[in-house]
């Protein structure tokens, strides 16, 4: 039976870039796997067998030099929603399909967005540091946060993740505004109490908290720059769970230093991680997490299972459920 399973290339099992054992087991139920390091030691042995690459945490990367060593490759299955790291037209030109895993990451990413918003607004990290500091003998008056309940939330990008953020925000009785390329139907808007802003400028001027949940495309690179930051309230907080390149980070540093805006909470930066001397790391009104939006056990299992489902469909010649087409 083992010999009948198709072959797949993965990063590794364990390690910082590899699959947890339980996730690797999901792949091994359906594929014979070759780890990247083992493949590089003998590409001739494995290259012609491999029909699927299952890329986890961007590894293995879809480098042309690798793909050309895989003449039988049928699919490059990427874990996660974003495909900005993939040259889809080039991969397709090799006769290889590309797949991602939309939907399964939405809940955990929406959760981290709300977590960042709350942690920044209520100074939870600073509170922890004060509470655990051996020198602390009183609670400073400076540990005052911003009220979340009843505030105005602006969501930039109302796809699946943005919509789930809106659903969560209702529990805080927030007024929800959103800006999107296309307006949601009236039923969707009514279900979460969201109001469409045709103008991004209007959303920026009005919101107390702004969450960016757009895909990274040529149109969204630098979407939030000096002009957009200047439109925000001086009491506003910017939350980014999209991609680092969507925000002009130099402009963000200037805005935070000048108190043009109140604070920023970021699960994404560019690059990742930031250089250790980057000014964002030293600002007291910035909260940064290392791109952990999808890092839950449940989400990881769902991602890997979806990668496997997509890869099996391609190997069998069936329609790939989450095939990514060139834009």
| pLDDT tens by residue, 18-50 | 999 999 999 999 999 999 999 999 999 999 999
Q: Which helix (H) or strand (E) holds 204?
A: helix 200-206
Chain segment 173-214, per-residue pLDDT in tens: 999 999 999 999 999 999 999 999 999 999 999 999 999 999
| Selection from 210, 214, 231 nearest residue 222 by Cα | 214
Average per-residue pLDDT for the chain: 96
**What pLDDT sits at residue 17?**
84
Domain 106-288, CATH among 3.30.465.10, 3.40.50.880, 3.40.50.300, 3.40.50.720:
3.40.50.720
pTM passes above 0.85: yes
pLDDT digits (tens, 9 = 90+) for 46-80: 999 999 999 999 999 999 999 999 999 999 999 99
Select from 110, 102, 144 the least CA-distant residue to 127. 144
Cβ–Cβ under 8 Å, residues 50 and 9: yes
pLDDT reading at 1 higher than 70: no
Catalytic (active site) residue 170: no
Q: What is the pLDDT of residues 275-299, one digit of tens each?
A: 999 999 999 999 999 999 999 999 9
Token code pair at residue 229: 């930051």
Characterize 233-257 residue by residue with b for buried, 16 or more Cβ atoms within 10 angstroms of its Cβ, and e for exposed.
beebbbbbbbbbbbbbbebbbebbe
C-alpha angle 33-38-42 in degrees, rounded to nearest 5: 110
Clarify whether 243 is annotated catalytic.
Answer: yes
Q: For position 2, what pLDDT does the model report?
A: 62
Which residue in the list 46, 179, 184, 291 is annotated as catalytic? Answer: 291
Topology of the domain covering 2-104+296-315 = Rossmann fold (3.40.50)
What does the alpha-carbon distance between residue 11 and residue 82 come to, in Å, rounded to a whole number? 18
Q: Tokens representing 66?
A: 């690798």
Strand order in the sheet with 152-156: 194-196, 175-179, 152-156, 209-212, 237-240, 263-266, 286-288
How wide is the angle at C-alpha 124 spanned by C-alphas 277 and 259, nearest 5°?
Answer: 55
Q: Which residues pair with 176 in a beta bridge?
A: 153, 194
Q: How far apart are CA 157 and CA 43, in angstroms?
A: 42
CA dihedral 7, 12, 13, 19 (to 10 degrees): -90
The single residue of 46, 179, 184, 243 carrying the catalytic annotation is 243
- How far is residue 267's CA from residue 209's CA, in Å, rounded to a whole number? 15
CA terminus-to-terminus distance, the chain: 40
| Known catalytic residue at 4 | no
The pLDDT confidence band at residue 109, using thresholds 50, 70 and 90, is: very high
Cite the residue boundaries of each domain of the chain with CATH code 3.40.50.720: 2-104+296-315, 106-288
Q: Choose, from 173, 227, 272, 316, the residue flagged as catalytic.
A: 272
290: number of CA atoms within 13 Å, CB side? 5
**Do residues 232 and 259 make contact, with C-beta atoms less than 8 angstroms apart?**
no
């Amino acid at each position: 039976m083992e010999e009948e399973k198709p072959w797949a290339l993965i990063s590794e099992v364990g390690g910082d870039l590899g699959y947890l054992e339980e996730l690797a087991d999901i792949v091994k139920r359906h594929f014979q796997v070759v780890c990247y390091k083992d493949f590089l030691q003998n590409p001739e042995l494995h290259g012609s067998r491999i029909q699927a690459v299952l890329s986890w945490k961007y590894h293995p990367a879809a480098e042309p030099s690798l793909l050309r060593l895989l003449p039988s490759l049928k699919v490059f299955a990427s874990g996660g929603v974003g495909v900005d790291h993939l040259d889809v037209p080039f991969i397709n030109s090799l006769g290889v399909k590309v797949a991602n895993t939309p939907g399964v990451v939405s809940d955990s990413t929406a959760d981290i967005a709300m977590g960042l918003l709350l942690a920044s607004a209520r100074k939870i990290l600073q509170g922890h540091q004060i509470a655990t500091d051996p020198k602390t003998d009183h609670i400073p008056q400076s540990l005052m946060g911003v009220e979340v309940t009843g505030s105005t939330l602006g969501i930039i990008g109302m796809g699946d993740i943005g919509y789930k953020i809106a659903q969560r925000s209702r529990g805080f009785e927030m007024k929800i505004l959103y800006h999107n390329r296309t307006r949601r139907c009236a039923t969707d808007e009514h279900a979460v109490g969201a109001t469409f802003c045709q103008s991004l400028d209007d959303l920026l001027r009005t919101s107390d908290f702004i969450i960016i949940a757009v895909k990274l495309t040529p149109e969204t690179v630098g979407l939030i720059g000096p002009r957009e930051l200047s439109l925000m309230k001086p009491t506003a907080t910017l939350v980014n769970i999209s991609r680092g390149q969507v925000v002009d980070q130099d402009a963000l540093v200037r805005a935070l230093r000048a108190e043009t805006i109140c604070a920023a909470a970021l699960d994404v930066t560019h690059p990742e991680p930031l250089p250790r001397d980057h000014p964002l790391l030293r600002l007291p009104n910035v909260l940064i997490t290392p791109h952990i939006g999808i890092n839950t056990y449940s989400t990881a299992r769902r991602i890997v299972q979806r990668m496997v489902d997509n890869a099996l469909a391609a190997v069998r010649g069936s329609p790939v459920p989450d095939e990514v087409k060139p834009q």
